[in-house]
Structure 1
Amino acid sequence: MASNRAVAYKGPNEVEVIDIPYPEFELKDGPGVNPANVGRQVRHGAILRTVTTNICGSDQHMVRGRTTAPVDLVLGHEITGEVIEVGPDVEFIKVGDIVSVPFNIACGRCRNCKAGKTGICLNVNPDRPGSAYGYVDMGGWVGGQAEYVLVPYADWNLLKFPDRDQALEKILDLTMLSDIFPTGFHGAYTAGVGPGSTVYIAGAGPVGLAAAVSAQLLGAACVIVGDLNEDRLAQARSFGCETVDVSKGDPGEQIEQILGVPEVECGVDAVGFEARGHGSDAGHEAPATVLNSLMTVTEAGGALGIPGLYVTGDPGGVDEAAKVGSLSIRLGLGWAKSLSFTTGQCPVMKYNRQLMQAILFDKVKIADAVQATPITLDEAPKGYADFDAGAPKKYVLNPNGYVK
């Protein structure tokens, strides 16, 4: 039996590479595994040798101690891999295929999956609709920041790349298909971005930058990205975005300097529940700031795409309400302006094949936009620390040496 090494959460601001069991076609008990899922047979699954697996801002929420994640939870929901074994019920996926794994775990059989709502599958998480690898309260499916990982419902979940050599050549772009590229695209798409749109994206982390690239791909006339981190804002400018520094105040005035009016047609929240205030409050956490700001700067009749993560349990919340995900949202303002809102996990399968085609036919360079930076599995703890310190990079773990 092969060994298996993985990145695990060890406590607030601490991750470590540990030894874990090699995957089997059965969900075993372990940190974070829902008791109702223990012993679940995965005859429909595939075991992958990990090609790439990325550090995500959503992982950082857990690593900071801002969720109820247990110690030794194996992290990682952004997975690309090579199929090395398939279960007896797998019909179409073959050993040797290079595949992208949507971070949503979906059965393909429930009414939500059949409607394309793969982010809220009804059959993979006993506690609530929706699941993901290596994430707290998501059913306990083992994370993919590891040398090997089990993927259930392989025929349904896996996106096979058409050519192995081409896939490995473009792997730093294709690795973004598991989460941040579809998630950013979902934020822009649900905000109503189209040809000639003006767009404000709150947050210049990897998802915000992916949303900016997506807005450009959708034909936006002007994409404005806001953040507190000048290095990340510079990265947004590197591929043609306008930027606003929200440490200098609410973005409305700066947007007006760019557009001539203080409002945009489309707004995207790529920050989530650890948002900080603007202007003089920039040093303090204020979790409703981004949503309220977006409602202010999005014109009447516009829409907000909200891929930024909000949680139902936050031990580090600024007050008792925030600790259960209850925020002081100016819903009256949103109602008065007839704004539309789209929240929740991105249904990755709705977009990933089309975005793969855009990558393979050189219509987009998502790896350049987010500064994809390969590191080894052993460098993961430093990668987490650097990312948390605001490095304008997307760290891509390379546990088996596929990335040259």
Structure 2
Amino acid sequence: MPGNKGVVYEGPGKVEVHTLDYPEFELKDGPGVNPANVGRKVPHGAIVKAVATNICGSDQHMVRGRTTAPQGLVLGHEITGEVVEIGPDVEFIKVGDLVSVPFNIACGRCRNCKAGKTDVCENVNPDRPGSAYGYVDMGGWVGGQAEYVLVPYADWNLLKFPDKDQAMEKILDLAMLADIFPTGFHGCVSAGVKPGSTVYVAGAGPVGLAAGASAFLLGAAVVIIGDLNKERLEQARSFGCETIDVSQGDPKDQIEQILGEPMVDCGVDAVGFEARGHGSDAGEERPATVLNTLMEITRAGGALGIPGLYVTGDPGAADEAAKHGSLSIRLGLGWSRSLSFTTGQCPVMRYHRQLMMAILNDRVQIAKAVNAIPLPLGQAPQGYQEFDQGAASKFVLDPHGMLARFR
């Protein structure tokens, strides 16, 4: 049996690479594991050797100490890899398959899964609908920033790449299918992006950049991305987005300079609960700023896609209400403008197959758009530090050295 190593949260601001147990077809007790899930048998699962496993902004929220994540939690929910073992109940996935692992863990059997709402599966997290690998309050499924990871309900969850050699040539692009590409795409679909749309994306992190690329894939006429980080805004311009620096004033004034009117057809929140203020408040945390701005600048009757993360528990919040996920949102404004809102995790399985086909047939270069950079697994702490400092990059961990030629 091979060994296993993975990235472990050791408290606010600190991650380390530790030796881990090799996965078994049973969920063991450990940090963050729901007691009702301990001992859960997984004969329907597969053990995946991680070829690529990404650092996500959602991981960064935990590492900053902005959630109730316990020390010792194995991180990572963006996994692409090769199947090395299958459980006795797996029928269609085979050893040797190269696969994308949706970050949502879903059973494929419950009412929500059958309706395509795999982001809120009812059977994988005893606390509430919805689950993910290596994430706080998500049932305790072990994270995938590791050499090997257990994936339950393998026949349902895993997306097999049709040609392994072709997939390895495009592996940095395909690594984005586990989360940020479908998440950005979902934000745009939820916002109603269509051919000819004008789109404002708040946030130029990896999800915001993925949303920008997705908007163009959906036919948008103009995509505007707003952020405080000049390097990330430069990255957005590299594939055709207009950009605004929200530290320079109200986004609607800058949008008017670009479009000739202070509003867009579609708005996407790719920031979430650690939002900063705009203009003179740019250095201060203002968790409701992005949502309120989007309600102001999105055309009446339009829609907001909100893939940015919001949490029910934020011990590092600036005020007591925000510590419990309560924000000063101008709901009356949204109601009066007849705006639609779509929140929650992206149901990855709704999109990942068609986005895979777009990648394999050269219709999108998502790794280039988000500036994907491979790092050895041992450099994960450095990747987390640089990402926290605002690097205009998407760090892809390489546990087995299979991405060395892309560095």
What's the TM-score, normalizing by structure 2?
A: 0.99
- Alignment partners' CA distance in 2, 1:265 and 1:338: 13
Shift of 1:401: 1.5
Q: In structure 2, the residue corresponding to 1:68 is in which secondary structure?
A: coil
- Alignment partners' CA distance in 2, 1:13 and 1:296: 35
Paired position in structure 2 for 1:232: 232
- Alignment partners' CA distance in 1, 2:354 and 2:114: 19
Paired position in structure 2 for 1:75: 75
Aligned ranges 1:34-113 → 2 under 5 Å: 34-113=34-113
Paired position in structure 2 for 1:266: 266
Shift of 1:402: 1.5
Deviation per residue, 1:244-298 (Å, 9 max, x gap): 1000111000000000000000000000000000001001000000000000010
Q: In structure 1, the residue corresponding to 2:299 is in which secondary structure?
A: strand
Paired position in structure 1 for 2:377: 377
Deviation per residue, 1:54-93 (Å, 9 max, x gap): 0000000000000000111000000001000000000000
The code of the aligned residue for 1:270 comes to A
- Alignment partners' CA distance in 1, 2:377 and 2:88: 31
Paired position in structure 2 for 1:189: 189
Q: CA RMSD in A?
A: 0.4
Q: In structure 1, the residue corresponding to 2:309 is in which secondary structure?
A: coil
Q: In structure 1, the residue corresponding to 2:204 is in which secondary structure?
A: coil
Deviation per residue, 1:120-164 (Å, 9 max, x gap): 000000000000000000000000000000000000000000000
Gaps of 5+ in 2: none
Shift of 1:212: 0.3
The code of the aligned residue for 1:259 comes to L
- Alignment partners' CA distance in 2, 1:237 and 1:80: 28
Q: Residue 168 of structure 1 contacts residue 402 of structure 1 at CA under 8 Å; is this kept in 2?
A: no
- Alignment partners' CA distance in 2, 1:2 and 1:39: 22
Paired position in structure 1 for 2:24: 24
- Alignment partners' CA distance in 2, 1:338 and 1:234: 34
Q: In structure 2, the residue corresponding to 1:26 is in which secondary structure?
A: coil
Gaps of 5+ in 1: none
- Alignment partners' CA distance in 2, 1:218 and 1:231: 25
The code of the aligned residue for 1:246 comes to V
Q: In structure 1, the residue corresponding to 2:10 is in which secondary structure?
A: strand
Shift of 1:2: 1.7
Paired position in structure 1 for 2:212: 212
Q: Which runs of 4+ in 1 moved over 2 A?
A: none
- Alignment partners' CA distance in 1, 2:33 and 2:380: 23
Q: In structure 1, the residue corresponding to 2:175 is in which secondary structure?
A: helix
Q: In structure 2, the residue corresponding to 1:397 is in which secondary structure?
A: strand
Paired position in structure 1 for 2:278: 278
Q: Residue 110 of structure 1 contacts residue 123 of structure 1 at CA under 8 Å; is this kept in 2?
A: yes
Q: Residue 74 of structure 1 contacts residue 144 of structure 1 at CA under 8 Å; is this kept in 2?
A: yes
Aligned ranges 1:143-158 → 2 under 5 Å: 143-158=143-158
State how many pairs are aligned.
404
Structure 2 residue 152 is the aligned partner of structure 1 residue 163: no
The code of the aligned residue for 2:62 comes to M
Paired position in structure 1 for 2:299: 299
What's the TM-score, normalizing by structure 1?
A: 1.00
- Alignment partners' CA distance in 2, 1:96 and 1:50: 12
- Alignment partners' CA distance in 2, 1:280 and 1:99: 46
- Alignment partners' CA distance in 2, 1:19 and 1:321: 39
The code of the aligned residue for 1:70 comes to P
